[in-house]
Amino acid sequence: MPADDAQLWQLLHSLDDLDHLEFPANYDHRRARARFDQLAQRLDHDFNCRTDVDRHVEDASFHGRINIPAAATTTGHPLVIVISNFGDLAVLAVDNPGVWNDEDAAQLLHTDDATRIHRALNDLDYTLIPEEPLWQRYDGAWDPDTFAPGDATWWVRYFDYL
């Protein structure tokens, strides 16, 4: 995770490729899928459950989504991991993206669940970033209307359908 807000914004802007909307020039779908599948298998094992994995993503800036059912978590809420096509970025949300701000999500998230997810992401070289800054207005290289006319956010740029 970036150490501070300045590093996060530097990272988000550095990944914003004006020539490539859905994925960067160096994107290797097979490699991304293999690693994503490893993450899903790891979370199945670590949470002793069958996660719900969305691998059928098209026309999007993200690769896939993994839902860990509430019954398998110590938190007592479903946990969602979304993987971007850009920069090996990952977001962890409690219940669903956009439901909780980062502070509330951190209070809800049990330490045991956080540790399992952080280790899995770290072991597979994903960069976990906070969700809340991604809801700010997009001010990157593209015309914001490309993503969501009148309401483009950094979430749409890296973690949503286009």
Which pLDDT belongs to residue 2? 76
Phi first, then psi, for residue 153 (nearest 5°) are -125, 170
Query: Which tens digit of pLDDT belongs to each residue from 103-139?
Result: 999 999 999 999 999 999 999 999 999 999 999 999 9
* Alpha-carbon radius of gyration of the chain: 15
Q: What is the pTM of this model?
A: 0.96
Query: Which tens digit of pLDDT belongs to each residue from 43-89?
Result: 999 999 999 999 999 999 999 999 999 999 999 999 999 999 999 99
Residue 141 and residue 78: Cα distance in Å, rounded?
34
Question: Which whole-number Å values give the CA distances from 87 to 32, 52, 94, 108, in the listed order?
Answer: 11, 23, 22, 27
